[in-house]
A and B are shown apart, each in its own frame.
Chain A
Amino acid sequence: MAGVLVTTTVNGDPVQFACPTDETLLDSLRDRVGLTGAKEGCGTGDCGACSITLDGQLVCSCLVLGVEANGREVTTVEGMTEGGQLHPLQEKFIEHAALQCGICTPGFLVAAKALLDKNNDPSEQDIRYALAGNLCRCTGYDKIVHAVQAAAVEMRKSTSKRKSKR
């Protein structure tokens, strides 16, 4: 295999792998780094199941080449928990039954986090449009939107708690 060495950061950790130049970052993450949280639902950037962030920007990893991760920061769903604590989005997804089969869930969590990191008080429409790039076939999105709304409330509460502690 004629490959290229890629040196990158994944979920805060330094990672190195070699891959062919025509391999997607999705395949590199799944097959070389061993992180199977991001899923291939379509391979053409239409379903969002492969959502990750690259230098903080939400992308479909099936549309990014593995070699493009060189020198950049990748975060996946596996990086959402901090020190064993579930992110509020993850907690609310479970609490609100926002998943049935769960295959789209990693993508939704990454996309929803990208939204809430930018807009901590999104309207229902803001949420629906921000998540329009992630397909779910099981839930009809109803409980997903409720979970994101609940997570937003939770995150605003803990931010204001932190602020008031100072």
Chain B
Amino acid sequence: MGHDTSYTDQKFNVVGTRVKRPDGLEKVTGRAKYGADASAPGQLVGLILRSPHAHANIVKIDTSKAEKLAGVKAVITSKDLPDHTGGNRGMLDILENCMARGRALYDGHAVAAVAAIDRQTAKKALKLIKVTYKVIPHVTDVDEAMEENAPVVQDYVFTPGGDGKTPSNISGIVPFGHGDIDAGFEEADVIVEKSYKTEQTHQGYIEPHACLANMGSDGTGELWVTTQGHFVFRNTCAALLGMDVAKLKVTASEIGGGFGGKTHVWMEPVALCLSRKANRPVKVVMSRDEVFRASGPTSSTSMDVKIGAKKDGTITAASAQLRYSCGAFPGIWGMLGAMTAFACYDLKNVKAIGYNVLVNRPKVTAYRAPSAPMAAFGVESTMDLVAAEIGMDPIDFRIKNAAKEGTKASYGPTYGPIGIGPTLDAAKNHPHMKAKLGKNQGRGMACGFWFNFGGQTCTDLNIGIDGTVNLTVGTVDVGGSRASLSMIAAEELGISYDDVKANLGDTASLGHNDMTEGSRGTFSSGMATIFAARNAIDVLKQRAATMWEIPVEDVLWEAGSAKATGEGHGNLAPLTLKEIAAKSPTTGGPIAGHNESVADNAGVSFASHICDIEVDPETGGTKVIRYTVIQDAGKAIHPDYVEGQFQGGAAQGIGWALNEEYIYGEDGKLQNPGFLDYRIPVCSDLPFIDTQILEIPNPNHPYGVRGVGETSIVPPLAAIGNALSNAAGVRMDHVPMSPPRILKALEEAKSA
């Protein structure tokens, strides 16, 4: 493509200011349309029947009575979803997760579905479906699943390096690291070795999965859906239903939160299948119960961490074994944990081994910097323990061992210029560190790391006859990116922010766009917007040249106008964008700029968090007194929304650290699939969250932008673990650090 993506260190007029977002009005008036807000004439209500067992063979499904019920227009099972995957195991896993194929693999696994004229009829129909189950042994704990005689979840999974004949639940054992850890531990003056556990959590988006599927009898279809990636959903749904990609048009609704959980299809192929069978539109909206039981939570983990250091604070060796649950299908979650565990540090001898383990739980998917928060909990807690043993300040200990340019990362490559040093320095010097602590209060800090990504991006920039601009992008707006993208377009063109209107295009309007994940939304579409705008400027200059009848080489674009340079052109007054647009019908037609590209190199992102927490030693109750997030954003296009990402990620981490967990009974059923007992932070749980945005430009983006959305969820588990351990006087090693666990730890410490 030939676009120069290097940082240009320019002065900005629009970028960096705090403008009003374009979709704000619709959202505060209730007009914005989310997944469940669309309707079609003749639409049916789709409901899904789910397994009440954690693990069972499905002996028989009798749908005859349901099919005969008046008002029922379609009943489906896996028979209606034949395998079009051509041997692609990953795609077959997705299909099997959407609808069980002979075996129910977790409590909540879909086994059948109906479409009926109204909700009451659909509910009756579900009750009329007779499923004969043969319950078989299940396993829901990650360590138990690794034992030799554990019930096996998938018979095509074999432990790597094993005999290749006996199925197991270990689908991956992935080591990272370099050096000689045995020699390194020999050199150490102090070694701390500890085990940790973190329980499964859910992204907790307030909007359940919802879609409206409309299939025609000619093999075409339309899908309105809440998603982080409508293009990817289109590809997946088309493949699973045996459709041509171009025949399925997917429109992304406004999204009510995703955080990674809406990067994967859960029931959309089922909705399309129901619609195809009923030959009518079918609306499927998951209940909150279904969202917990049958979408994609994050992993539960069990880890062993060992860090050795010299008296002067130099870490001589670090190792970790990280066991991550993946749900009922293979995944790479343990591997990711092992990649990120020691990424913040400059280590000569390091080894992290990630285990990917299957259990009878829903299929794990990404949750904001997937797998990193748990590994950070284990490593950052151990870092504090080592610092205490040596008698060194925890921040100084980290500064001493921080990764820098030239460090060989624990996951392999050598780092270029990176920002962990600056975030640690900023944390050390932050006023938060000097605030006084009261009784039963403790302070902790932690750092975190995450990769940020680019991806395929298409953008169209169209200039209207009156000079106002339509910017059509393909990355779903999860947090306000339309504002930032409009600002970028305005900046490039040299016009007012109010003259730019950004909107999200459907799959028929643009080329492929990757999902909004990996903190890529503003980074990628921002990059594409810059180049689309520059493309448009080339056209504008050409039109001005035509209007003036001078060579285009003599035309400059400056501050929103074409200016004639060179000899003999001094008498030509500048032509504004509006003036050129007005004349466009006769100078060559509509003026537009496009960009199809693959953005890359969003850089890696580091953050440091500081937390003050108070614990009540009688109840184990906790209160977050003060919280500070320090993170490098490269360049904050719209500072309010960058702060919003920092605060949102921190809040999710706080909930994860203190309260949120999936609780399974002995019977393998999820006991708390609702917001009452799966308790996320509420307004009264949190203080104001302070943020400090560092701007160390990303050399690979014209404005220096880095991805920002995910990293802020990585440090909180450990920052709170460290703060709580200091407040309570006892080391917490099991997340969530809920009141019962705190009380137990206090009691154990007392009796010891």
Binding site for B on A (CB under 8 A): 1, 20, 22, 27, 30-31, 35-44, 46-47, 49, 76-78, 80-81, 86, 90, 93-97, 99-106, 109, 125, 127-129, 131-146
* 12 residue pairs bridging A and B, Cβ less than 8 Å apart: A20-B120, A37-B31, A42-B288, A101-B256, A102-B254, A125-B684, A127-B683, A128-B684, A135-B682, A137-B680, A138-B648, A140-B647
Which chain B residues lie closer than 8 Å to A140 at the CB level? Answer: 647-648, 650-651, 681, 686, 689
A sample of 16 more A-B contacts (CB under 8 A), given A78-B30, A141-B682, is: A20-B120, A22-B120, A27-B119, A36-B33, A41-B206, A44-B288, A46-B674, A49-B206, A94-B20, A100-B479, A101-B254, A135-B675, A137-B203, A137-B257, A140-B686, A143-B644
Asked whether A37 and B30 contact (CB < 8 A) given A42-B674, A103-B206, A140-B648, the answer is yes
Q: How far is the CA of A43 from the CA of B290 in the complex (A)?
A: 12
* 6 tightest A-B CB contacts, nearest first: A37-B30, A103-B256, A140-B651, A102-B27, A97-B640, A46-B675
Q: How far, in whole Å, are A35 and B29 apart by their CA atoms in the complex?
A: 11
Residue of A43, A81, A96 touching B287 (CB-CB under 8 A): A43
CB-defined contacts of B33 to chain A, threshold 8 Å: 36
| Residues A137 and B259 in contact, CB atoms below 8 Å apart | yes
B205-A137 in contact (CB<8A): yes
**Residues on B facing A (Cβ under 8 Å):** 18, 20-21, 23-25, 27-34, 36-37, 39, 118-120, 203-208, 254-259, 285, 287-288, 478-480, 640-641, 643-644, 647-648, 650-652, 674-676, 680-684, 686, 688-689
By DSSP majority rule, is chain B's interface helix, strand, loop, or mixed?
A: loop
Could you tell me if B683 and A145 are in contact, using CB atoms closer than 8 angstroms? yes
Are A44 and B674 CB-contacts (below 8 A) given A93-B28, A102-B254, A128-B683?
yes
A133 → B minimal CB distance (Å): 8
If A101-B255, A143-B640 touch, does A95 touch B20 (CB 8 Å cutoff)? yes
Q: Which residues of A contact B684 (CB under 8 A)?
A: 125, 128-129, 131-132
Identity of the chain A residue whose Cβ is nearest the Cβ of B30 in the assembled complex: A37
Given contacts A41-B207, A139-B644, contact A102 B32 (CB under 8 A): yes
Complex Cα–Cα for A145 and B24 (A): 17
A102-B256, A135-B680, A145-B688 known; A97 vs B644 contact (CB < 8 Å): yes
Taking the nearest CB of chain B, how far is it from the CB of A118, in angstroms? 17
Chain A residue nearest to B678 (CB atoms) is: A46
- Return chain B residues, CB-CB under 8 Å to A134: 682-683
* Distance between Cα atoms of A78 and B25 in the complex (Å): 12
User: How far is A59 from B27 in the complex, measured between Cα atoms in Å?
Assistant: 21
Q: A1-B120, A109-B28, A139-B647 are in contact. Are A97 and B641 (CB under 8 A)?
A: yes
Q: Bound state CA distance, A49 and B109, in angstroms?
A: 27
Can you name the residue of chain A whose Cβ is closest to the Cβ of B655? A137
Q: Are B29 and A37 touching (Cβ within 8 A)?
A: yes
User: Is A101 touching B207 in the complex (CB atoms < 8 A)?
Assistant: yes
Q: Is the CB of B29 within 8 A of A141?
A: no
Chain B residues with Cβ under 8 A from A30's Cβ?
36-37
Chain A residues with Cβ below 8 Å from B208 are 40-41
A129 vs B20: C-alpha distance when bound (angstroms): 28
Judge whether A141 and B651 touch: CB under 8 Å.
yes
B34 and A103 form a contact (CB under 8 A): yes
Known contacts being A80-B29, A100-B479, A137-B257, is A144 close to B683, with CB within 8 Å?
yes
Among A40, A81, A96, residue most surrounded by chain B Cβ atoms (within 10 Å): A40
